[in-house]
Structures are given as structure tokens and as C-alpha cells.
Structure 1
Amino acid sequence: MARPSEYSAEFRSDAIALWRASAGTRTFKDVAADLNVNPETLRTWVRDTDAPPAVAGASDGVEGELARLRAENARLLKNEKERQLEREILRRAAAYFARETK
């Protein structure tokens, strides 16, 4: 289990805002040194806030799409079995009528 963060959400958001305000002129290392935070910690906070919201719910979308594709696959397999049965019936009928005409 991960240990609880020693930084509050307000501190994080203020640190991110400070970095974004000076992003063109200062590095993560410079801003982190001013805040007494590890530069990688600040970089992670910024990266996490930049992640698109769809990423958080992506697993639901992927699972839903997987379920839909599995259902479609089952339907297509059922249709293929029905077509195989129809072809077999037609093959037998053609063989029967071919014997009748001889």
C-alpha cells in the first residue's frame, strides 16, 4: 500500500500553477528547489494533471468495446454455421438430382 502524501492538494495545485507560470523560463528542477520538492515529484504532478480525462475511464470503454466485439463474433460464428448447413443441404440436393437425371 502506498504511503499517504505529505503534500496537500492545495500545495500541489499551487506548485503546478507556479511551474506553468514560469514554464518558458524555468525548469522543473528550479521550481522544485524553490518549493523544496523533488523535481520528479513536481513533474509527476504536472503530467498527471495534463492527462486527458478519457484516460481515467478508458478501461470501461475498452471493456465495453471488447464485450461488443465478442457478441458480434458469436453472432458471426452462428451465421457461418447456418451457412455451412445450407451449403451441405444444397450439395446433397444437387447430388440427389444429378442421380435422378442419369
Structure 2
Amino acid sequence: MKHYPPQFKADAVALYHSRPGASAAQVARDLGIYPATLLAWIKAADEPGEPVRSAIEAEAPAGSSVELENRALRRRVAELEEEREILRRAAKYFAGETKW
């Protein structure tokens, strides 16, 4: 059985939650892990029953449509930056395990 660092597990779950249209199998394939492994991590992380939400999503929407659009765009940029960081860490982690 392969051991994954806790930060990698947390990043994988965060990546899954940041991709609303993606299945766990798609995210697991992107990370190079088994879908069942990712599903177990998601289940363990979501046990309280509350979905993971960012601080931006937790804010109450207020103001004009331009402000709402800017907030949505900032949220999307944050999601993309988080995904990029998770994928960078995953690549670094798996590159370290490769024995060429």
C-alpha cells in the first residue's frame, strides 16, 4: 500500500471540490491515483456533512452586478491558482519517486 503525505491528500480533496463538473475518477486520473483512494479521502474530509467552501463564497453577495462579476472572477482565479499549485506539488512529489 502506498503512503501519501497528508498535505497531498488535502490538496487532492480541495482540487476535487474546486472542479464542480469533474468526477472523482477524472480528478484521480489527473493526479495519478486510484479513484477509490480519492473517494476515501473525500469521504473522510467531508464527514461533518458540510461542503468545503472558500472564504469568498462565504461572503454575502452585495452591490452592483459589476461587483458580483468581479467577485466571481476573483473566485475563479483563486480556484485556478489553487489547482495549479496542487498539480505542481503532485508533479514534484511523483518526480521524486521516479527512479530513472
Higher relative contact order (CA 8 A, sep 6+): 2
Larger radius of gyration: 1
Q: Under TM normalisation by the shorter chain, which class is it?
A: 0.3 to 0.5
Higher helix proportion (structure 1 or 2): 1
Return the TM-score normalized by structure 1: 0.45
Scaled by the length of structure 2, the TM-score of the pair is 0.45
